[in-house]
């Protein structure tokens, strides 16, 4: 296991007070992390291609497909994924706990008869705060035009062998390091039939009281040729929902006043990943979209959002609908179907590297602060307060306060304030900005920002 400790250079630039004339990116930058550059460089497109080709070779991975064959169907696919996670674990001295997570589903529109929905996950336990988790996921299953057709060939090369292959490659790379928090690598089943794998795993997380601070759902990360005619390998989308509306009157009022219309734990997670892309992944710009998902579509981050966990969807920018949910055929000179020739492996590697660097940064960072509150009405100053997370006490150096103009998409200004639980920003008027607080590790890694009030917390209920 390797990790380059940079404690002597702790927080160079973190303690700087920034003026309003400083460029936004400069204002929130902290010490560059060589470990994250190394992680990005370690992701290999050849491994991702090999894994996608293997998953495609199973013919179909439909949730209702064959489970007994060793060469075809969902059963063969999940057993192969399990064996790959075990190989990765063996290479790191048993650092992964590999398991199936399953339940029987029936009586649903797309699952009329009982079927076992079985996902494969691997957990890399943290060294100092093992009950804090970050997760990367992809979907095992595939489909053709008829969602109930479980016998026809459904290669699912991009949707979503690319996401599973990316998750396997992230596990290969990150298993060579040790982290303070735990990382979950998940190949989820039953997505096309109703997000069942995500629902089952989210319930497990809740039942076992995981402190799950980030879910990175990767669903279609390999296509660069859009049906709109655009060919682009340098952008990606991050979908992030806003604050849920099932609140008390007090919570709703706080949300309206303190930024809940444009902030949520999921959106601050998306901002964090966007920040990592800008600094560590060459030639990649991410577009943060303030929606749960595309219109009329869904993904496996939603079941986690439903239980209060911060979760986002990472995917290509330009989709090709001729390659999604299609029978394999050629009509009027147009080739339909989700086949291997529609995947750009270098692009899938780039998005995988973004996931890996983001997971590493969050797993090395402390827990995000709890109980963030704010006050400053009818005052020239703004005061933020928060609670420390005692479970990760030995990893915390201090905290960093962030603020931005209310129409700014990304944090613009910041101040490292030390290991305190309250800080006043003098002559910063509460009415004019949105505020938040992040935890900072002794190595300078930061948690995602938490904004004030109940809507800004990790409200797992």
pLDDT at 258: 63
Residue that is last in its domain, among 364, 388, 420: 364
Same domain, 380 and 430: yes
At residue 6, does pLDDT exceed 90?
A: no
Residue that is last in its domain, among 364, 380, 414: 364
In total, the chain counts a number of residues equal to 461
Task: Specify the CATH number for the domain of residue 308.
Answer: 3.40.630.10
Residues 264-270: what's their mean pLDDT?
A: 95
pLDDT at 460: 39
Residue 19 counted as domain residue? yes
* pTM listed for this prediction: 0.91
Same domain, 322 and 419: no
Same domain, 20 and 93: no
CB under 8 Å to 346, separation ≥6 — which residues? 45, 233
Residue 433 counted as domain residue? yes
**Would you give the DSSP letter of residue 160?**
I
Alpha-carbon separation of residue 89 from 47, 123, 162, 446 (angstroms): 16, 10, 21, 27
At residue 22, does pLDDT exceed 60?
A: no
Residue 382 counted as domain residue? yes
Same domain, 25 and 81: no
**Would you give the DSSP letter of residue 175?**
T
Total number of domains in the chain: 2
Domain of residue 302: give its range: 38-364
Same domain, 162 and 42: yes
Same domain, 81 and 106: yes
Residue 191 counted as domain residue? yes
Residue 418 counted as domain residue? yes
pLDDT tens track for 415-437: 999 999 999 999 999 999 999 99
Residue 77 counted as domain residue? yes
Same domain, 278 and 377: no
Residues 206-221: what's their mean pLDDT?
A: 98
Which of 375, 133, 126 is CA-nearest to residue 254?
Answer: 375
Q: For residue 412, what are the β-bridge partners?
A: none
**Would you give the DSSP letter of residue 238?**
E
pLDDT tens track for 127-176: 999 999 999 999 999 999 999 999 999 999 999 999 999 999 999 999 99
pLDDT at 155: 98
Task: Specify the CATH number for the domain of residue 398.
Answer: 2.60.40.10
Kindly calculate the radius of gyration of the chain based on its CA atoms and give it in whole angstroms. Answer: 22
Residue that is last in its domain, among 318, 341, 364: 364
At residue 28, does pLDDT exceed 80?
A: no
Same domain, 80 and 210: yes
How high is the mean pLDDT of the chain?
A: 90
Residues 8-32: what's their mean pLDDT?
A: 39
CB under 8 Å to 331, separation ≥6 — which residues? none
Residue 165 counted as domain residue? yes
Residue 1 counted as domain residue? no
Same domain, 246 and 336: yes
Same domain, 204 and 144: yes
Surface-to-core class of residue 364, CB atoms within 10 Å of its CB (0-12 exposed, 13-18 middle, 19+ buried): buried
């Amino acid at each position: 296991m390797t990790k380059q400790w940079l404690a002597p250079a702790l927080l160079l630039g973190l303690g700087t007070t920034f003026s309003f004339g400083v460029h936004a990116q400069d204002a929130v930058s902290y010490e560059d992390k060589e470990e994250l550059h190394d992680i990005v460089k370690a992701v290999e497109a050849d491994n991702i291609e090999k894994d996608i080709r293997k998953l495609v070779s199973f013919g179909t991975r439909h949730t209702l497909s064959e489970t007994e064959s060793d060469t075809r169907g969902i059963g063969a696919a999940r057993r192969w994924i399990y064996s790959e996670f075990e190989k990765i674990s063996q290479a790191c001295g048993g650092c992964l706990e590999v398991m199936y997570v399953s339940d029987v589903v029936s009586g649903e529109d797309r699952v009329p008869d009982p079927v076992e929905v079985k996902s494969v996950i691997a957990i890399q336990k943290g060294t100092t705060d093992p009950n804090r988790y970050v997760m990367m996921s992809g979907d095992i299953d595939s489909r053709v035009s008829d969602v109930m057709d479980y016998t026809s060939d459904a290669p699912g090369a991009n949707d979503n062998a690319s996401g599973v292959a990316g998750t396997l490659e992230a596990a290969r790379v990150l298993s060579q390091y040790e982290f303070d928090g735990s990382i979950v690598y998940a190949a989820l089943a039953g997505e096309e039939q109703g997000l069942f794998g995500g629902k089952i795993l989210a319930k497990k997380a809740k039942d076992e009281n995981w402190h799950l601070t980030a879910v990175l759902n990767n669903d279609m990360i390999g296509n660069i040729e859009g049906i709109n005619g655009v060919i682009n390998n340098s952008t990606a989308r991050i979908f992030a929902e806003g604050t849920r509306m099932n609140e008390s009157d007090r919570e709703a009022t706080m949300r309206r006043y303190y930024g809940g219309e444009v902030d949520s734990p999921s959106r601050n997670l998306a901002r964090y990943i966007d920040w990592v892309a800008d600094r560590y992944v060459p030639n990649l710009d991410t577009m943060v979209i303030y929606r749960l998902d595309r219109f009329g579509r869904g993904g496996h981050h939603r079941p986690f959002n439903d239980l209060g966990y911060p979760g986002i969807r990472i995917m290509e920018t330009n989709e090709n609908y001729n390659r999604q949910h299609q029978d394999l055929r050629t009509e009027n000179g147009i080739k339909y179907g989700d086949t291997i020739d529609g995947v750009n492996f270098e692009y899938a590697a780039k998005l995988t590297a973004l996931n890996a660097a983001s997971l590493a940064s969050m797993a090395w960072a402390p827990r995000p602060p709890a109980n963030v509150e704010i006050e400053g009405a009818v005052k020239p100053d703004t005061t933020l307060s928060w609670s420390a997370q005692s479970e990760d006490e030995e990893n915390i150096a201090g905290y960093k306060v962030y603020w931005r103009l209310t129409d700014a998409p990304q944090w613009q200004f910041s101040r490292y304030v030390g290991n305190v639980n309250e800080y006043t920003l003098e002559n910063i008027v509460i009415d004019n900005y949105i505020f938040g607080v992040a935890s900072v590790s002794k190595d300078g890694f930061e948690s995602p920002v938490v904004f004030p009030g109940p809507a800004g917390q990790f409200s797992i209920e």
